[in-house]
Homo-oligomer: A and B are copies of this chain.
């Protein structure tokens, strides 16, 4: 990790379907998380349904550890976040995935855990009691049933944003060439003007200055690079040739 911050542990409490455990593993690895902990998975562990839906994130499943209780699963973690969509009447801070990610990065080398409940019912009150804070994803209140893997992917994604360029591929803009120098742009504009002049595009003379300015503004807007300017010059040169008779 290029950052001093330890990636959070992802804890699935009593997950029901192996398929969802696999999908959660895939979502984790997509954003650079590898440590999964399972608390009494319904169908035991390992679960043959998990592998196929992990779509290659096998390393996460192979390293997953199973615990009898949530307390044991988060015993080494100083910051435990319980994810829930439901209001629990508990007096704990409620944060978004974004805020939790910031706090986890700020925690440095201290271990953090993000805890997810079973697919159908979510975390029990006793599970939530173990957490220092609650993560609630701000969803559409009229359609709030976020599935397990998607709750995991949002938390992992938010964490990854702060994980530094070493881990994640940032969109690079290196392949975007800068706009062509002004002289090349001027050459293009002059070419357009020379081409258009015989077609009386700049008539009547009283409007010529405005028409030229409009054309310049339009051709300046794209920020075409030198290759693009050259291509457009090619377009104009083609139009200067004698057309094919059909």
- Residues on A facing B (Cβ under 8 Å): 23, 26-27, 29-32, 55-57, 87, 89, 91-96, 98, 134, 136-141, 143-147, 149-150, 153-154, 157, 160-161, 164, 167-173, 175-177, 192, 195-196, 198-201, 214-215, 218, 221-225, 228, 231-232, 234-235, 238-239, 241, 243-244, 246
- Say how far A174's CB is from chain B's closest CB, in angstroms: 10
Chain A interface helix/strand/loop/mixed: loop
A57 nearest CB neighbor, chain B only: B143
Query: Is B235's CB under 8 angstroms from A215's CB?
Result: yes
Query: Is A145's CB under 8 angstroms from B218's CB?
Result: no
A146 proximity list for chain B (CB < 8 A): 30
Query: Is A239's CB under 8 angstroms from B30's CB?
Result: no
A198 proximity list for chain B (CB < 8 A): 243-244, 246
A146 nearest CB neighbor, chain B only: B30
- Say how far A204's CB is from chain B's closest CB, in angstroms: 14
A169 nearest CB neighbor, chain B only: B141
A171 proximity list for chain B (CB < 8 A): 94-96, 134, 136, 138
Q: Tell me, in angstroms, the Cα distance from A32 to B141 when the chains sit together.
A: 9
